[in-house]
Amino acid sequence: MSEEETLLVFPTDFPIKIMGERRDDFAQTMVELVQRHAPDFVAETVEMRASSGGNYLSVTCVVRATSKAQLDALYREITAHPWVKMAL
């Protein structure tokens, strides 16, 4: 399988879980970032969960992915953000 190939068939609904420090604007900032790459993403569908200690927040966004390049660019921007600890 070449670098450009993927097991995914596009378009597809693709969940992205973003974890970072719990801050008031974390979820909104991540939604704005996701919408830059998936303009049809609906912010009201975000699922949020605080860690047991309350120090971290996970934000799950299900995007309608249209290509591997779109997902790659989205993951690059998410993981480069200073508030993000991990993205799955």
- List the domain boundaries for the chain: 12-87
The alpha carbon torsion through 29, 34, 40, 43 (nearest 10 deg) reads -40
pTM for this prediction: 0.90
- Tell which CATH architecture fits domain 12-87: 2-Layer Sandwich (3.30)
Closest CA to 43 of 63, 23, 17: 63
Q: What is the pLDDT of residues 49-66, one digit of tens each?
A: 999 999 999 999 999 999
pLDDT of res. 4: 61
Which pair of structure tokens corresponds to residue 56? 């971290």
Q: What is the rounded CA–CA span in Å between residue 79 and residue 76?
A: 5
